[in-house]
């Protein structure tokens, strides 16, 4: 985890392999723009409440790509070499003396954020907003694209027998969709518009279906991703453009596709155009939830939305979502497997290719490492 680590070969954490030789714990370090290198990563000592985990599945998130391409994501700036990655699952290798719910050999999904537990937000249960949060792969905290991590036991969730390690890693992006649906009060009486059919838009679609939204419309600029959304259960899809002058025309198309009132809009892109569309399409007294961070600042038509008492809410990551996500996967109410479009191993060449694939868009949705 982000408790420590440094890219020095001589002091790297060592583990005993099956043949008795010692192998260094290796990780993918972000060293500069478009520059990743697999180097040794020293782990901290195992504390009494910690778990040592061998990672088996690690996904690439859009924020990882932002860090890779720009050395920053929103206000999170990479200022020194950092191990990347935060979507992960693996196998327990060792547990601290006070960890009672896990044993070596258990397969687990990891919630990547470690909160302080002391601040007012943590005490109120909104620990995702903790100002002292240490989050995998969010500077300056090291991430999980590595052979092994040490992580607090309470943030390691045992996988049901019928849930794969890859699905366990997908709990992280699915958690974003679940948290958005919770914040927007999605339920059996809320018709939902999802703006954006990227990975987060698609998991939000899956979450809205699991929350029993009666009708879901997905809008995007990309035909392929819209076809994926349709295959995943969107009732209707709407092709839109990037031209903000076409908002009014496209809102008409969205309302026609919905066939009834839009109660909740969830913007998983986060651009002026997508938020303007969401605000205009949402019915009076409805809610718009901003999830995506496509732009650092937005200029929005809030006056008309305010006059219709459209509530605008935001989300930041998630809280208390892993148990529900695992139950949705166990019960097959959510199937994330179709989202995993590309798989790579953990070598220098494959790490570079994986990030190029994820950053390149195209038909890639979720790129996954199998370690």
Residue 72 — very low, low, confident or very high, per pLDDT cuts 50/70/90? confident
pTM: 0.92
3-state SS, 148-198, equals EEEEEHHHEEECCCCCCHHHHHCHHHHHHHHHHHHHCCCCCCCCEEEECCC
Q: 3-state class of 359 per DSSP?
A: helix
**Considering only 18-32, 94-108, 252-266, 347-361, which range has the smallest mean pLDDT?**
18-32
- Indicate whether 50 pLDDT > 80: yes
> Could you tell me which residue, 102 or 69, shows the higher pLDDT?
102
- Indicate whether 216 pLDDT > 80: yes
Query: Which helix (H) or strand (E) covers residue 300, if one does?
Result: none
Give residue-wise pLDDT tens across range 262-298.
Answer: 999 999 999 999 999 999 999 999 999 999 988 889 9
**pLDDT (average), residues 40-50:** 96
> Could you tell me which residue, 360 or 247, shows the higher pLDDT?
247
Rounded to 5 degrees, φ, ψ at 315 are -135, 155
> Could you tell me which residue, 71 or 101, shows the higher pLDDT?
101
pLDDT at 22: 53
Q: Map out the domains of the chain with their CATH numbers.
A: 26-158+336-370 (3.90.180.10), 177-314 (3.40.50.720)
Residue 70 — very low, low, confident or very high, per pLDDT cuts 50/70/90? confident
> How far is C-alpha 348 from the chain's CA centre?
24
Q: Which of 29, 298, 251 is nearest to 146 (CA)?
A: 29
Give residue-wise pLDDT tens across range 162-192.
Answer: 999 999 999 999 999 999 999 999 999 999 9
pLDDT at 12: 31
Distance, CA of 122 to CA of 115 (rounded, Å):
7
**pLDDT (average), residues 229-257:** 98
Phi-psi region at 124: left, alpha or beta (left = phi > 0; alpha = psi -120 to 50): alpha
Work out the percent of the chain whose per-residue pLDDT is above 70: 94
């Amino acid at each position: 985890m982000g408790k420590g680590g440094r890219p020095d070969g001589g002091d790297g954490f060592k583990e005993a392999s099956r043949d008795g030789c010692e192998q260094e714990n290796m990780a993918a370090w972000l060293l500069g723009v478009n520059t990743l290198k697999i180097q040794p990563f020293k782990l901290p000592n195992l504390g009494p409440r910690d778990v040592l985990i061998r990672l088996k599945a690690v996904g690439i998130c859009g924020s990882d790509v932002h860090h890779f391409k720009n050395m920053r994501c929103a206000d999170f700036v990479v200022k020194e070499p950092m191990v990347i990655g935060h979507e992960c699952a693996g196998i327990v290798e060792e547990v601290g003396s006070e960890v009672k719910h896990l044993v070596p050999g258990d397969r687990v999904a990891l919630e990547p954020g470690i909160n302080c537990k002391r601040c007012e937000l943590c005490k109120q249960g909104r620990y995702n907003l903790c100002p002292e949060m240490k989050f995998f792969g969010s500077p300056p905290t090291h991430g999980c694209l590595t052979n092994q991590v040490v992580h607090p036991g309470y943030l390691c969730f045992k996988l049901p027998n019928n849930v794969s390690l890859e699905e366990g890693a997908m709990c992280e992006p699915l958690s974003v969709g679940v948290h958005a649906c919770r914040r927007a009060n999605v339920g059996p009486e809320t018709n939902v518009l999802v703006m954006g059919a990227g990975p987060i838009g698609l998991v939000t679609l899956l979450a809205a279906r699991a929350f029993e939204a009666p009708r879901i419309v997905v809008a995007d600029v990309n035909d392929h991703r819209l076809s994926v959304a349709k295959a995943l259960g969107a009732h209707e899809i709407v092709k839109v453009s990037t031209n903000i002058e076409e908002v009014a025309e496209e809102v008409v198309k969205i309302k026609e596709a919905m066939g009834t009132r839009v109660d909740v809009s969830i913007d998983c892109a986060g651009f002026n155009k997508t938020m303007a569309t969401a605000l205009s399409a949402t019915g009076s007294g409805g809610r718009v939830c901003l999830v995506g961070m496509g732009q650092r600042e937005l200029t929005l038509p809030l006056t008309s939305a305010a006059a219709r008492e459209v509530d605008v809410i935001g989300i930041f990551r998630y809280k208390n979502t892993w148990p529900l996500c695992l139950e949705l996967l166990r019960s097959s109410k959510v199937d994330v497997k179709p989202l995993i479009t590309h798989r790579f191993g953990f070598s220098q060449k494959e790490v570079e290719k994986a990030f190029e694939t994820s950053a390149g868009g195209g038909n890639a949705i979720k790129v996954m490492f199998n370690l």
